Structure 1
Amino acid sequence: MFSWKLGRLPLAFLALVGALLAFAVGCGSGGKESEVGLPEVVDFNFHIKPILVQKCYLCHGPDPSSREADLRLDLFDGATAKLERGKQAIVPGKPGKSYLLERITHHDSELRMPPAATNQEVTAEEVALIRKWIAQGAEYTPHWAFVGPDASKLERFATLTPTQAIDSLVGESIRQKGLAIAAKADKNALIRRLSYVLTGLPPNPEEVEAFLEDDAIYAYEKLVDRYLEAPSFGERWARHWMDVVRYAETRGHEFDYAIQGAWRYRDYLIRAFNEDVPYDQFIREQLAGDLMESPRFHAEARTNESVLGTLFYTLGEGTHSPVDTRKDESDRIDNMIDVTSKAFQALTVACAKCHDHKFDPIPTADYYALYGIMEGTRFSPQPANQLEMRNVSLREAQKLQAHIRQQFASSWESAQGKQVPVQLTNLHTVDEVVEGGVKVLGDFRGQDFGGWKSDGMAFGSKTTLGNPVLTEDRKALQKLDEGMASSRYFGLGKFGVLRSPDFVIDAKYVGVKARGSLGTVRVVMDNFQLIQYPIYGGMSQLVQSGDWKELVFDVGQWKGHKAYLEVMPGRFQSHNYVQGHQDFVEVQYAISFDNSWQEPSLKHTEGTPPMGTIIKNWVGYRSSPHEIEHLNHWIAQGKERRTVEGLEKMARQWADLTDQVKDTVFFSGVTEGYRTESPVFIRGSHTDLSPDKVPRRFMPGITGSKPVFGDAGSGRLEMVDALLGSENPLTSRVMVNRIWHHLFGRGIVETVDNFGLQGKLPSHPELLDYLALVFVEQGWSVKELIRAIVMTETFQRDYQPEEMARKLDPENIFLASYPVRRLEAEAIRDGMLRVAGNLREESFGKPVPVHLTGFMQGRGRPGSSGPLDGDGRRSIYIEVRRNFINHLLQTFDFPTPFTSFGKRDVTNVPAQSLMLMNDPFVVRQSEVWALRVLAAGDSTLAQRIDRLYWEAFSRKPTAEELQVGIDLIRGWGVRQGMISDLDLLGDNGLWSSYCHSLFNLKEFIYLM
């Protein structure tokens, strides 16, 4: 070994080296550049901008705080503007007059740019690119991702299948780079690769043997189809999407509360990928599944699938006692915007919270336009099993109710002329403000909800005013009901929520007059949901009395905050909603006041409408409380007025229709709120708001779509329309890039969550555009796109590149060979379970509690630990607790679920080796594997080792590996006093150790 020490070198030699280095530097920047190898057309985005970003933007880019000489090179106007002494950095078409070229090639190092202190220099090839670009007109073409795919440029592939076109486009890049293509992978490698990539599991030995023996030309294609149709396909690809949406089943923070029904979203994803739900439908369901006029229903259970997608919004963190609920809302919405924009557009929109995005064309106003959409969305429990016939039953019940009214009305109209109407004082609606500073927030003694929204079935669409109340035997009318909002509108056992519009707290108290067997009334401030003590516990009260009670909420300390009232049957337990079959709640009115409670009074006017008018108003659901009082008095005067023909039968029909719907299980979803437009938060501060509000929109400068946002509702439907509009250049590109990333371990755009100006350029831009266009043409089918890609020669190449390809493309960006890649954490764990024979391949259901080690401590720690092996279930079914993530998975780069992770980290750290050697799960699966093979009846060591390699690696051991294995086993046996191979074959401890050693080989955790 040589040791070079600078101090011992001759001074003459040092001088010579210095001179040579100086000469080299001079040649590197100021020497004559060559146009040999330059592209025919120099593109700003792909050739020039990367140079400027790396070497010029620090001082002459978008950041005004670091800009020097008033020169901005990221914009055409800035780059061509007149500088001091009349010079221009860039003169389109005239490189000789462009001051930029003069400065980057200057012979004087003091004047040459970039400055020596930056340790950057513009190479001769880069100078040549810039010179040619300027000569060609110095066009600042828009960022590639913000210009839609041009189908006309891909017409040469019109006669090819997608598989052929993909190979052709990849091949063009390989030829341009002068690379040699690797051979086709052998069948053992192919089936292992395909099985892991499509299903996340190793192939079982029977599958491998069948594939090796199948010499048919379509053998590989049949294998592809089998894996695409396997239930494990959906489990694999659902987990990919769960990374993107920061999936977790608890909220993190201090107590790590559960997110109700989060696992139903996981099951929804698995079914969606297995059923190949079109990606455009997939987007609609997650962003607006609760608003779809024609939702998708489960093929067998006939339950609403679309609504489950809205769990997407609720998977974020939650803080149970924030001091500032406004800031908490700001943080939660910021996360929703960040995840939504990254997941579907691969844009970092959240960077525009405090100022205009410094790189992408996303003004701050666009961020707050999205903020308004999210702010206008309400978090709400949702019934998990919404049957297809649910809405049908509701409509039929409403028709029957109207028919019963009509039957009574016809009977009364024929009889009312014989009676003298009783004269009563007429009643009108209440004033908004009554005496004593009492403000009416809602009054349900009339016919409708007065601007409040009713979600679910429980409260119906109107108050109970005038509804027939029958005797117990259902044979006669007892009376017409008084006005109230009642969750018993369609009987018991239905879920529903009644919500007020937003109001600003301007009084000391909020009051609600309510009764019920068990119900909840909440004052929800700033959309804050985790209402509990010590700070906010008084903002939620239970209703548990059959008598009318006055519920008072002390809100004085939160004056100025926006809030809304929420009424529902049932209650919250640890922030999870529960409702019993007999739970109900009813409300008369809600008020705000400063001093004392005062019931809103109804104003009086003289006179009573004719009975015919009263009856018509009742049939049309237009009655006033006075008219119902009048009718009840009139009904009581004659027994014949209390029944109609067929009443008992109609009552039974009503019961049959309404009893079909029983809501028993729930999840945390969203529902529609009210139109909300947000001001800009100056510098991102929720305490410093702009005077004007921003109309809702969805990044029109990028998407090219300008849907008209309606006056009612949050605007989520319009947002989806903008996402899926034909003008949007990103949606299909982003998804096909995610798919490519999971198939090859690297996306065509490596930064899969960032297609903006700070993201990486696509390695194969034409290929990306072709895939995006084909994806849409083929009905947004994920499976069809995957099938086309995995059928390519590109996907089927060997792992070993040719020597020239290794030198010219060391990162294998151009795919002359298939990339070596490490398996994901779940694939490693699940692979161990399958190889050991311990995998329970059953789908769906509640998560298996996470196994807790002694190091997993802290508040919110579950009371009991889950099984070490996760009950043999796949990793996707192991509970994802934000504060207590499975250690084995975490060690192998399972993402912390706080934001989008479209691309996981792939680390290589000592802890991974230690985990494979010492983790109790790994050791236990080694033991289970050994016990299983001991029962297989192998007669020789070679036969046993051959079996183990076949199960672990889908191949036989090489002669060297076989001999090493035999020597190792016999060596261990000698140390334990065993000489006979027969004794060795029966020793469980010895084979457990050997199986453990195979788990520790790189080949087990890599595709290689």
Structure 2
Amino acid sequence: MSITSFRTLLIALVCCSCLDRASDSYENKVPDVVDFNFHIRPILSDKCFACHGPDANKREADLRLDTQEGAYAALKDYNDKFAIVSGQPEQSEVYLRISSTDSTVMMPPPESNLKLSSYHVELIKKWIEQGAGYKPHWAFVPPAKSDLPEVLNEDWCANEIDRFILKKLHEKKLKPNETAVKSQLLKRVSFDLTGLPPTIAMQEAFEQDTSPEAYEKVVDELLSNAHYGEKMAIHWLDIARYADSHGYQDDSPRTMWPWRDWVIHAFNKNYPFDQFLTWQLAGDLLPEQNEETLLATGFNRNHKITQEGGVIDEEYRIEYVTDRTNTFGKAFLGLTFECAKCHDHKYDPISQHDYYSTFAFFDKVPEKGLVGTFDENTADPPRMEITDEMVNDVLTFVNKKDSYPVAVMVMADSVGIRDTHILDRGNYDAKTEVVTFNTPKAIMEFDTLNFSSNRLGLSKWLLSDKHPLTSRVFVNRIWQEFFGQGIVKTAGDFGMQGELPTHPELLDWLAVDFRENGWDIKRLVKQIVMSSTYTQSAQTNKRKQEKDPENILLSRMHRTRLGAEMIRDHVLASSGLLNDEIGGPSVKPYQPDGLWLAATSGRGVLKAYVQDHGENLYRRGIYTFIKRTVPPPSMLTFDASNRDQCEVRRLNTGTPLQALVMLNDPTVLEASRVLAQNLSKSDLQNPDLINNAFKRIVCREAKPEELEVLLGYFEDQLQHFQSNREEATKFITVGEYRQMENGDDPTIAALMQLIHTMYNLEEAITRS
């Protein structure tokens, strides 16, 4: 098939509407009431805190603008001058400096390359006129449930979420979309809850069910599906930096897949989030601890580990504790905690003392910086060995393939093993002051009367009703899974430099409601997918594009490409190739030859890629072996995490390489061939046969005009391959799945070409 005809076919089948990212259309009009958190602090944080913020070592002129006390105090060497004088901008040095055109006094100074717009200057002036009131950072104030907003169109609201969304839409004079058509809605919720496409039987049943409960029945069915746990686990594996190798140059294998099995199990069994969190942070310290709670602590040990000779043991041990501390900060607090390792945080009220006081919770593990050698698959102590007896008794969810014990890294503390020191500039050998267990006071006091001085106490601190971040951060991240971005766009930064919440009252309402209802994750997920906000169509128009180009207000549903794992899963499931076994060791599907040899040291068990065969070739993407130094190339192309560190949000890019993967990946080609084989054996006539493939791949009925184009293309290809039978035979010889005996090669080749084209449609790998 020529490139021209392929392009023509794609254009005939689908007209992609490329949505230009217009500039923000919100008018820069100074509001009647200027709010410190939502208007002033972001400006100060961006433009001022680097020199006048929490970091004492970088503070200029002894001036702090991140606290009211600092801003109101007399300036150094000028007892009669003040940075801010409440109600009097003309007496406030901040306003005088930011409005000046004199380069010798203006702030920020020209050499900083920072500049305030006239709008920013007017905002600050009006804020000072209104009293220059400071407030605690919004994310450090415990969430509270506000009253549900009153709205005009109550009939549109399926639940409480919709009231908050609709209120903001009314304020911006926008209307929500109509409900998506059934085929779009089923495809969306099926991928969102299980990561798999709806079967043709599911599509037909949903279309035929005209009851008011039809959609809710589908949601309940998907939530109870065992594949739900696999889909939910993907985002948690990114957060936990799960991988199948240690990382660094020699990058030897590690066995942590039983912990992955536990994560899938925990989501399927709907473990409450407080239990999910506690077991992973401190399952080894629970009074009722068992093999399962101990296995859960593998979360803390998923960091990279070196096995290279010549390294300094203590240097790398400190790296491991650092990784655990940073992951804790991002995963549960949603903060850039790592910024305080070498100095006080420049923007957030987290001192270096705070950092190492939190570091102390993870610093009592009897581990080494260097473990084993590059050719050993040795688990770094402490570890647990999973036996058949454990699997038959407690760890029934672990998909253990053989009778040999499996060694998994877990957590254990040794009392008095070492003191924790503040490290000057973060250097492992520059120990200074000894610190004890504590947390940043700006977030919440660590009450030693109620919280034990260990990781279990740290878990209880996180789960306190007074904690401002834990429930907000998790709810926001779950929201992100369904809407493409969180209510706080910067899911890993709820601090001063992070984005403000688009719907702060909704975020707080959900956070409190989540906690009040037993930290029930499935309940939260159902709330989201049952909302009218979620079930909207993704259609847009010029007015919505101009008014809200990024769809922050959610007047429509996002159109987003499927995640890397889901693209693979979709191809396998729709073709009938999918091995839907749950859990077990990671597998090595097709991969270009020589990648591992070219990119690694050439030593050890993982020096060369040894592909699997048989059913292991067709397992879900979540089980693909991840070597940190050379991640799976096709998945990386579609923005999968390389699992080097905690990642709370994947990028969503569009590159030519993605098109090349869909055109040339052996899995896509093999799936096209296998589906072609299976359909060629059916009794379906050509139009029905083509529509059957279309429904499997695009998840809807083909329109008459689309079917006409597809049928014409199939007939052209059939004629071509009938005239070139050797080419047809060669074309369908792809992949290891068994070839069809006594099949008509030209027919199979023509069908394979058609199906391959369907997989390359933008709509095929987009959840609408």
State whether TM-score is above 0.5: yes
Q: Say if 1:850 and 1:885, in contact at 8 Å, map to a contact too.
A: no
Structure 1 equivalent of residue 436 of structure 2: 695
Question: What is the one-letter code of the residue matched to 2:680?
Answer: L
Structure 2 equivalent of residue 684 of structure 1: 426
Q: What secondary structure sits across from 1:680 in the alignment?
A: strand
CA distance in 2, matches of 1:971, 1:169: 53
Deviations 1:628-685 (A, max 9, x none): xxxxxxxxxxxxxxxxxxxxxxxxxxxxxxxxxx995442212231144312111212
Residues 532/906 of structure 1: CA separation in 2 closer, same or farther (3 Å cut): same
Structure 2 equivalent of residue 950 of structure 1: 695
Work out whether 1:98 is the aligned partner of 2:92. Answer: yes
- Where in structure 2 are the equivalents of 1:762-781 lying within 5 Å? 762-781=501-520
Structure 2 equivalent of residue 892 of structure 1: 638
Structure 2 equivalent of residue 216 of structure 1: 211
Work out whether 1:201 is the aligned partner of 2:196. Answer: yes
Q: What secondary structure sits across from 1:667 in the alignment?
A: strand
Q: Say if 2:589 and 2:618, in contact at 8 Å, map to a contact too.
A: no
Residues 572/71 of structure 1: CA separation in 2 closer, same or farther (3 Å cut): closer
Q: Say if 2:55 and 2:345, in contact at 8 Å, map to a contact too.
A: no
What is the deviation of 1:281? Answer: 0.5
- Where in structure 2 are the equivalents of 1:656-695 lying within 5 Å? 664-675=405-416, 676-690=418-432, 692-695=433-436
Structure 2: runs of 5 or more not aligned: 1-26, 388-402, 725-742
Q: Say if 1:836 and 1:929, in contact at 8 Å, map to a contact too.
A: yes
Q: CA RMSD in A?
A: 3.3
Work out whether 1:1003 is the aligned partner of 2:760. Answer: no
Structure 1 equivalent of residue 285 of structure 2: 291
Structure 2 equivalent of residue 310 of structure 1: 297
Question: What is the one-letter code of the residue matched to 1:843?
Answer: I
Q: Say if 2:594 and 2:608, in contact at 8 Å, map to a contact too.
A: no
- Where in structure 2 are the equivalents of 1:352-751 lying within 5 Å? 352-378=340-366, 527-528=368-369, 530-532=371-373, 664-675=405-416, 676-690=418-432, 692-708=433-449, 715-751=454-490
What is the deviation of 1:945? Answer: 2.4
Q: Say if 1:978 and 1:984, in contact at 8 Å, map to a contact too.
A: no
Q: Say if 1:775 and 1:785, in contact at 8 Å, map to a contact too.
A: yes
Structure 1 equivalent of residue 748 of structure 2: 988
What is the deviation of 1:201? Answer: 0.8
Question: What is the one-letter code of the residue matched to 2:371?
Answer: L
What is the deviation of 1:37? Answer: 5.8
CA distance in 1, matches of 2:220, 2:190: 11
Residues 868/150 of structure 1: CA separation in 2 closer, same or farther (3 Å cut): same
CA distance in 2, matches of 1:108, 1:573: 63
Residues 127/373 of structure 1: CA separation in 2 closer, same or farther (3 Å cut): closer
CA distance in 1, matches of 2:101, 2:622: 62
Q: What secondary structure sits across from 1:987 in the alignment?
A: helix
Structure 1: runs of 5 or more not aligned: 1-34, 297-303, 380-526, 538-570, 582-661
Work out whether 1:328 is the aligned partner of 2:304. Answer: no
From 575, 586, 611, the counterpart of 1:865:
611
| Overall identity of the aligned pairs, in % | 35
Question: What is the one-letter code of the residue matched to 1:137?
Answer: G
What is the deviation of 1:150? Answer: 2.4
Residues 233/57 of structure 1: CA separation in 2 closer, same or farther (3 Å cut): same
CA distance in 2, matches of 1:788, 1:291: 34
Q: Say if 1:263 and 1:845, in contact at 8 Å, map to a contact too.
A: yes
Q: Say if 2:50 and 2:346, in contact at 8 Å, map to a contact too.
A: no
Structure 2 equivalent of residue 826 of structure 1: 565
What is the deviation of 1:80? Answer: 2.9
Q: What secondary structure sits across from 1:750 in the alignment?
A: coil
Work out whether 1:936 is the aligned partner of 2:682. Answer: yes
Work out whether 1:963 is the aligned partner of 2:674. Answer: no
Question: What is the one-letter code of the residue matched to 2:426?
Answer: G
Q: What secondary structure sits across from 1:240 in the alignment?
A: helix
From 735, 747, 754, the counterpart of 2:493:
754
Q: What secondary structure sits across from 2:668 in the alignment?
A: helix
What is the deviation of 1:704? Answer: 2.8
CA distance in 2, matches of 1:926, 1:308: 40
CA distance in 1, matches of 2:187, 2:268: 21
Structure 2 equivalent of residue 50 of structure 1: 42
CA distance in 2, matches of 1:349, 1:36: 33
Which structure has the larger Rg over C-alpha atoms?
1
From 630, 655, 660, the counterpart of 1:909:
655
Q: Say if 1:181 and 1:801, in contact at 8 Å, map to a contact too.
A: no
- Where in structure 2 are the equivalents of 1:63-212 lying within 5 Å? 72-83=64-75, 86-106=80-100, 122-151=116-145, 153-154=146-147, 164-212=159-207
What is the deviation of 1:729? Answer: 0.8
Work out whether 1:263 is the aligned partner of 2:281. Answer: no
Which has the larger displacement, 101-110 or 360-369? 101-110
Q: Say if 2:364 and 2:415, in contact at 8 Å, map to a contact too.
A: yes
Structure 2 equivalent of residue 441 of structure 1: none
What is the deviation of 1:249? Answer: 2.0
Q: Say if 1:369 and 1:677, in contact at 8 Å, map to a contact too.
A: no
Q: Say if 2:383 and 2:411, in contact at 8 Å, map to a contact too.
A: no
Q: Say if 1:185 and 1:798, in contact at 8 Å, map to a contact too.
A: yes
CA distance in 2, matches of 1:107, 1:312: 54
CA distance in 1, matches of 2:57, 2:301: 38
From 768, 778, 782, the counterpart of 2:521:
782
What is the deviation of 1:160? Answer: 13
Q: TM-score, normalised by structure 2?
A: 0.83
Structure richer in strand, relative to its length: 1
Work out whether 1:350 is the aligned partner of 2:91. Answer: no
Work out whether 1:247 is the aligned partner of 2:242. Answer: yes
CA distance in 2, matches of 1:891, 1:932: 30
CA distance in 1, matches of 2:264, 2:59: 50
Q: What secondary structure sits across from 2:315 in the alignment?
A: helix
Deviations 1:852-871 (A, max 9, x none): 43132133325732238843
Question: What is the one-letter code of the residue matched to 2:222?
Answer: Y
Structure 2 equivalent of residue 804 of structure 1: 543
CA distance in 1, matches of 2:244, 2:382: 12
Residues 872/355 of structure 1: CA separation in 2 closer, same or farther (3 Å cut): same
Deviations 1:612-637 (A, max 9, x none): xxxxxxxxxxxxxxxxxxxxxxxxxx
CA distance in 2, matches of 1:264, 1:212: 39
CA distance in 2, matches of 1:952, 1:180: 32
Q: Say if 2:358 and 2:437, in contact at 8 Å, map to a contact too.
A: yes
Residues 869/119 of structure 1: CA separation in 2 closer, same or farther (3 Å cut): farther
Q: What secondary structure sits across from 2:588 in the alignment?
A: coil
Q: What secondary structure sits across from 1:784 in the alignment?
A: helix
Q: Say if 1:572 and 1:578, in contact at 8 Å, map to a contact too.
A: no
What is the deviation of 1:965? Answer: 1.5
Q: Say if 1:105 and 1:112, in contact at 8 Å, map to a contact too.
A: yes
The number of residues matched between the two structures is 695
Work out whether 1:854 is the aligned partner of 2:596. Answer: no
Question: What is the one-letter code of the residue matched to 1:201?
Answer: L
Q: Say if 2:594 and 2:609, in contact at 8 Å, map to a contact too.
A: no
Q: Say if 2:491 and 2:649, in contact at 8 Å, map to a contact too.
A: yes
Question: What is the one-letter code of the residue matched to 2:65?
Answer: L
Q: TM-score, normalised by structure 1?
A: 0.64
From 320, 341, 350, the counterpart of 2:329:
341
CA distance in 1, matches of 2:157, 2:279: 28
